[in-house]
Amino acid sequence: MLVLGRSQVEALIDMDALIDALASAMADLSAGRASAPERIAALVPEREGFLAAMPGYVPSASALMTKLVTLFPGNGGTPVPTHQAAIVMFDPATGAPAALLDGTAITAARTGACSALSARLLAHEDATVLAVLGTGVQARSHARALCLVRPIREVRVAGRDPAKAAALAAELSSALHAEVRAVPTYAEALDGAHIAAATTHATEPVVRRPWLTPGVHITSVGYNPAGREVDDATIADALLCVESRQAALAPFPAGSNDLLMPIRHGVITAEHVHAELGELVSGSKPGRTSPDQITLYKSVGVAVEDAVAAALVVSAARVQSVGDDITLA
């Protein structure tokens, strides 16, 4: 069994290839060719955390795996990430364990890459201004991924901690071919932005309808069982897309409060979800219908994303002779 650590996984990830592979995987999911059951979780109430299991199978990618992922919000502000994960790959022909790899880097990359896919499908082709809300791992991943699919020239970073926003802006300035600056508020970051990436652990919305420019494309990946990232008015007005209707509308720990709360309050119905990403990829559902339409991709994360990303990393590791082989039996 091949074993890959985090630094090795990070070095092997090809974001361009991952975005393309996710398009096929999401189409497989929407067509029923891939399998990704709703995640289940063991709760750790004294830490307000949980351990979730996410199995997935994508036959077109020959990828069979499960991810074990923890969310411990109390780690915020410490050197230990709030999200940590491990992935086990299996041989889809025999069921034998084939690889064990760090899943934290995979989670960051596949989430940013799927948001980039949503921007490729829904954002204006000439989008140049990106708002990044949040200062953590996903903020970094999203800034890099979204710049691969649109000609971003200006990036604005906003977060709860101005020092962290400034530090992230400085870090991204050296990594991106764009002007990157920290701004003091979420509203200022969103003012005039063509794409907005919400990557927070917020309890109160950081994306609010009065702050949005006509035609903006929003990606929202933040998750907090006690809150939400996007306000009711934005949810109601936007062309709403998800990875999987079943996953997005499922109860905790699978679904999204950004959708479940407005449904409970009668603001929208489940039918307000316009499309899954796979339906946009296949063309079975249309995308943007007008230049000024606000589009919103709400992500909850599904296992086919991890499966495809891990399969690409393991394949690259085999080609480059990276990692350690161990025997379990």
Q: Which domains does the chain have, with CATH numbers?
A: 2-106+304-325 (3.30.1780.10), 124-301 (3.40.50.720)
pLDDT (tens digit, 9 = 90+) per residue, 51-106? 999 999 999 899 999 999 999 988 877 788 888 999 999 999 999 999 999 999 99
Q: CA geometry: angle at 295 spanning 294 and 297, to 5°?
A: 150
* Contact of 23 with 308, CB cutoff 8 Å: no
More confident residue, 226 or 117: 117
Burial class (CB in 10 A: 0-12, 13-18, 19+), 135: buried
**pLDDT above 90 for 224:** no
Average pLDDT, rounded, for the chain: 96
> For position 13, what pLDDT does the model report?
98
Instruction: Tell me the pLDDT band of 182, cut-offs 50, 70 and 90.
Output: very high
For the residues 152-178, what does the mean pLDDT come to? 97
The β-bridge partners of 56 are: 65
What is the predicted pLDDT for the residue at 223?
Answer: 87
Residue 299 bridge partners (DSSP)? none
Q: Is 77 left (phi over 0), alpha (psi -120 to 50) or beta?
A: left
Q: Is the pLDDT reported for residue 126 higher than 90?
A: yes
The pTM of the full predicted model, rounded to 2 decimals, is 0.96
Distance of CA 47 to the CA centre of its chain: 24
Strand order in the sheet with 2-4: 40-44, 49-58, 63-71, 83-90, 97-102, 2-4, 324-325
